[in-house]
Amino acid sequence: MLGIQLIGALGMKSAVNHVVDKTIRSTVKEPKVGSILYTGLLADTMEHSGVYIGNNRIVELDNKGHIKVVTPQEFINGGTGINIYVSAQGKYPVGSGLIAERAIQYEQDVIIKDYHLLFDNCHMFTAACIIGDFDNSYSYLWMLKDLVKESLSADNWLVWQDPQKCCDKKEIEATYPNYTSQDLACVLAQLQAVREQSNRQWEDIKAHCRLVHEHTANGPASWFCTTESRLENYVRRSQELEQIEYINQRKHDDLLREEKSLEQKVEEITAYVSLREG
């Protein structure tokens, strides 16, 4: 009896909090594609999270391990959640096309996976959509929020003003970046050029390593006799080789970062083109 009364009291408190949030807290008309969402469960003693993919669709992992697309109402069904909270920066929702693309891909390819309330739950699925790895430890909402802050610079969570209202698809698509297949081809060409440059730089690094090895092998330890001048030349050459090695490695690291950035851009453009066509 006491347990029922406690749940009832928590439920009443949760309802009041949600009404206050919707009245006082800033609201958003529509999340961004790739926004992270959450809602309260069990009188807000737990939460449920997912990824917004546009057109009033959310990808979630349910408590049976099914990865599926649901409506906002289905997202909050089964719990006492009233509001859906949206990742935001200040007063504006934030999201990522890449996150949405991963969520869609998981829903299409994985479909069902193991589920555990604490060790393999919805928050870990949502985190996987952000980082691309199911094997993660973001099992609590506060952990997920930290990840969202790091990944999307989200410093706020806005209440979705009217999730029951299905927005017009054209209105939603108007918020997407206007990427085209030509944009994709352009970025792919840039990526290919950077990869080729990176490969050439790597060959330069390997050639330089051979020079360093040869220089070391012909060092003072191999000399029958030495002079101060010869030793100074050796040291100076060693310093030059070390500096060249440092510069080559820095160039290669910069190219790898640029390559990674372009790969992410390709995934982002592909995601938005896919969402538009879907």
Q: For 122-172, how does the pLDDT look when each residue is reduced to its tens digit (9 = 90+)?
A: 999 999 999 999 999 999 999 999 999 999 999 999 999 888 765 555 555
**43 or 84, higher pLDDT:** 84
Over pLDDT 70: what percentage of the chain? 82
**Backbone phi, then psi, for 268, in 5-degree steps?**
-65, -45
Q: Residue 209 has which token pair? A: 């390593």
| Residue 35 near residue 86 (C-beta atoms within 8 A) | yes
CA dist 74 and 47 (Å) reads 14
The average pLDDT across 81-92 equals 90
CA dist 115 and 121 (Å) reads 6
**Backbone phi, then psi, for 111, in 5-degree steps?**
70, -55
The mean-pLDDT minimum among 123-127, 136-140, 219-223, 244-248 falls in: 219-223
Name the nearest CA neighbour of 127 among 109, 147, 153: 147
The pLDDT, as a whole number, for residue 79 is: 52
The pLDDT, as a whole number, for residue 84 is: 94
CA distances from 274 to 46, 51, 101, 227, 265 (A): 33, 16, 8, 70, 14
Q: With bands split at pLDDT 50, 70 and 90, how would you rate the model's confidence at 261?
A: confident
**Backbone phi, then psi, for 190, in 5-degree steps?**
-60, -40
Whether the CA torsion 85, 89, 93, 99 is positive or negative: it is: negative
The average pLDDT across 21-47 equals 78
Residue 217 has pLDDT above 80, yes or no: yes
Fold of the 181-277 domain: Helix Hairpins (1.10.287)
- Please check whether the domain covering 2-173 is classified as CATH 3.40.50.1110: no
CA distances from 266 to 131, 179, 276 (A): 16, 11, 15
Q: With bands split at pLDDT 50, 70 and 90, how would you rate the model's confidence at 206?
A: very high
Domain boundaries along the sequence of the chain: 2-173, 181-277
The pLDDT, as a whole number, for residue 171 is: 55
What's the DSSP call for residue 81?
A: -
Residue 13 has pLDDT above 70, yes or no: no
The pLDDT, as a whole number, for residue 53 is: 93
Q: For 43-80, how does the pLDDT look when each residue is reduced to its tens digit (9 = 90+)?
A: 556 899 999 999 899 999 998 899 999 999 889 875 55
The pLDDT, as a whole number, for residue 6 is: 41
> Which residue, chain included where needed, has tokens 């809602």?
39
Residue 241 has pLDDT above 50, yes or no: yes
The pLDDT, as a whole number, for residue 90 is: 92
The mean-pLDDT minimum among 32-36, 96-100, 263-267 falls in: 263-267
Over pLDDT 90: what percentage of the chain? 53
